[in-house]
Amino acid sequence: MVGFMQKLNAPWWAEITTVKPSCVYYFGPFDTSAEAKEAYPGYVEDLDGEGAQGIVVVIKRCNPEVLTKCEE
pLDDT, tens digit, 9 for 90 and up, residues 9-55: 899 999 999 999 999 999 999 999 999 999 999 999 999 999 999 99
The domain in which residue 36 lies consists of: 2-70
Phi, psi of 51, deg, nearest 5: 90, 10
pTM: 0.87
Question: pLDDT at position 21, please?
Answer: 97
Longest dimension (CA), the chain: 42
Q: Is the pLDDT of residue 5 over 90?
A: no
Question: pLDDT at position 16, please?
Answer: 98
